[in-house]
Amino acid sequence: MLARHRIAPRFAGFALLGLACLAMVFSGCDFSFHRDVHLYLEAPFPHKLSAWHLFTVARGRLTPNARVLPYDLNTPLFSDYADKYRFVWMPPGNSAEYREDVPFEFPVGTIFAKSFAFPADGQPGEERLIETRLLIRTRSRWVPLPYIWNASQTEATLQLVPDPVPIRYTDAAGRARDFTYQIPNTNECRECHDNNKSLQPIGPKARNLNKDFSYSDGAANQLARWTAVGYLRGAPVPAAAPHAAKWSEPSSGSLDERARAYLDNNCAHCHQPGGTAGYTGVDFRLGHFDPAGFGVCKHPNSAGNMGDRRYDLVPGHPDDSILVYRLESTAPKIMMPQIGRAVVHTEGVALLREWVTALQGGACGLATPR
């Protein structure tokens, strides 16, 4: 069964719709003039991303359709320096219920769309879309759907097990990037998104959304905007809501706050009770700091060869800390996160090195700390 929610076109009648269809036929491109999002709540889900009518695309740029709201996060997950474009949509008349500490309670029919893009090689200012991950709140559960963009950037297709993509470009700072980008398969989506075997959104929490966003009509706080457009109910005024530091901006928080925000968004989705790495006993959630739970002087319990280091985290000694070692690696098994990263996040590592160096507590008794 196909469930379709349509927002009644406010300005376009059937005539215009007909024109749009005609245009589709001639252009061969499905990303055309649809004004209304199509929602699919049950399998089979559409093979083409365009069938959802979430946005239009031109030269690697996504333009959201009506009521498809862009957003971003204070401190995002690092993904090989990909640029990410996040959008949310909810069926008319539906809103998410505010939660202070965990992702909001989203209504059935919520669509999250997160697109990953890299600079197009040799085309300054241009970007190449690689994938768009949809997360759909169906009646029973969240469903992840990876759509992979074609080379001509006109369409993305649903692939359960996407092929790796070679990425090569020179970034704005002149650094050459050349690596293989691994797109998670739908099981791998669950590696990060599962908690107690139930797939959940990760990013859209109050502390992460509580920031200004440059909307097309000007900057506004996201919690306020979500409330204003009817996507969020029960939220306090932004000043009264939690607020995570922006990992890269010292003005946004102390070293500890920025490092903890980084760990919260890059590690805690697995490293928390019920998460994929819950069994390790390590918990990186913001607001939790039990030394053993943070790996302080703790043996990892299922790590492999970690460069002759003994403990997850040795206060004051990043070069003795397995946490840093794993972030500096791209080797499977050694690196963290275990999936979704092929490049070292140099700036993130620098932040955590600084943080570990500043931590107090002694060198876990190591005779010759590095």
Partner 1 sequence: MRRIALPLCALLLAGAACSCRQTPADIQKHLQEQLITAKPGAVIELPEGKFHFDRTLSLTVDKVTLRGKGMDKTILSFAGQKEGAQGLLVKANDFTIEDIAVEDSAGDALTIQGGTNIIVRRVRAEWTRGANPANGPYAIYPVECKNLLVEDSVARGAADAGIYVGQSENVVIRRNRSEYNVDGYEIENSENVDAYDNIATHNTGGMGVFNLPNLPRQGGKHVRVFHNQIVDNNTPNFAPVSLGPIHDLPSGTGIYVMAIKDVEVFGNKIQNNNTVNVFLIHYDTGVGDSLRETASSPITQQVFAPGDKRYYPFLQQVYLHGNDISGGGKSADSRIAVMKAMADALGGSLPDILYDGRVDPAWPKKGANPGDICLGNNGAASFLNFDAAGGMKHPVRDVKNYTCALPALSAVSIPSLAAASPANGTSAP
What size, in residues, is the chain? 370
Q: Which residue has the tokens 């590095």?
A: 370
Task: Determine, following the binding rule CB under 8 A, whether residue 303 of this chain makes contact with partner 1.
Answer: yes
Token pair for residue 42? Answer: 């049950």
How is residue 121 written in tokens?
Answer: 């090689």
- Residue 157 has φ and ψ, to the nearest 5°, of -120, 150
| Interface with partner 1 in residues 304-323 (CB under 8 A) | 304-310, 315, 322
Shortest reach from residue 5's CB to partner 1, in Å = 26
- The yes or no reply on residue 329 touching partner 1 (CB under 8 A) is no
The answer to whether 324 contacts partner 1 (rule: CB under 8 A) is no
Given the complex with partner 1, which of 117 and 322 has the nearer CB atom? Answer: 322
Surface-to-core class of residue 350, CB atoms within 10 Å of its CB (0-12 exposed, 13-18 middle, 19+ buried):
exposed
Q: What is the DSSP letter of 76?
A: P
Identify which of residues 122 and 304 has a Cβ nearer to partner 1 in the complex. 304
Cβ burial of 208 (10 Å; 0-12, 13-18, 19+) is buried
Nearer to partner 1, 43 or 173 (CB): 43
CB closer to partner 1, 25 vs 43: 43
Q: Is 176 a binder of partner 1 (CB under 8 A)?
A: no
What does the alpha-carbon distance between residue 359 and residue 277 come to, in Å, rounded to a whole number? 24
Q: Which of 38, 53, 298, 345 binds partner 1 (CB under 8 A)?
A: 298
Q: Which of 30, 278, 288, 349 binds partner 1 (CB under 8 A)?
A: 278
Identify which of residues 215 and 289 has a Cβ nearer to partner 1 in the complex.
Answer: 289
Compute the least distance from the CB of residue 308 to partner 1, in Å. 5
d(CA 107, CA 318): 43
Nearer to partner 1, 187 or 214 (CB): 187
42/97 with CB nearer partner 1: 42
Cβ proximity to partner 1, 91 vs 293, nearer residue: 293
* Cis peptide bond upstream of 337, omega within 30: yes
Helix (H) or strand (E) holding 228: helix 222-228
Task: Supply the minimum distance, in Å, between the C-beta of residue 348 and partner 1.
Answer: 20
Cα angle for residues 228, 33, 12 (degrees, 5° grid):
70
Residue 138 is a binding residue for partner 1 (CB under 8 A): no
- Considering only 3, 279, 350, 354, the residue that binds partner 1 (CB under 8 A) is 279
* Residue 167 contacts residue 119 (beta carbons within 8 Å): no
What is the pattern of x (binds partner 1, CB under 8 A) and - over residues 180-199? Answer: x-x--xxxx-xx--x--x--
Supply angle C-alpha 74, 127, 348, rounded to 5: 35
- Indicate the SS3 state at residue 32: coil
- Residue 292 binds partner 1, judged by CB under 8 A: yes
Note the residues at the interface with partner 1 (CB under 8 A).
Answer: 160-161, 163, 180, 182, 185-188, 190-191, 194, 197, 273, 276, 278-281, 291-293, 296-310, 315, 322, 331-333, 338-339, 342, 361-367
